[in-house]
Amino acid sequence: MHAAADYCGGCWEEGEAQLSVRERNDAPAEMRFMRDFNAIARFATDPHPQLREKLGMLERS
């Protein structure tokens, strides 16, 4: 096994199609994480809207 295969998760053993499917399947989990993170950040910074702006969350004035 090549050292690069360890770095990219077994690229030498999987084809491009399998890697694309894996990336596509992992995307919803990442989106759920961001949804949960935003909900927690909004709750935690409720009294301080300027902190949400520092996190990059849009805040209406």
CB atoms within 10 A of CB 8: 11
Q: pLDDT tens for residues 3-61?
A: 554 555 555 566 888 888 888 888 888 888 888 988 998 899 888 888 888 888 877 76
CA distances from 28 to 15, 25, 34, 37, 55 (A): 22, 7, 10, 14, 22
Sign of torsion over alpha carbons 31, 35, 36, 42: positive
pTM, rounded to two decimals: 0.51
Q: What is the model's pLDDT at position 1?
A: 44
C-alpha 13/C-alpha 16 separation (Å) is 10
Is 43:52 a contact under the CB 8 Å cutoff? no
What integer pLDDT is reported at residue 12 of this predicted model? Answer: 57
What is the domain partition of the chain in residue ranges?
3-54
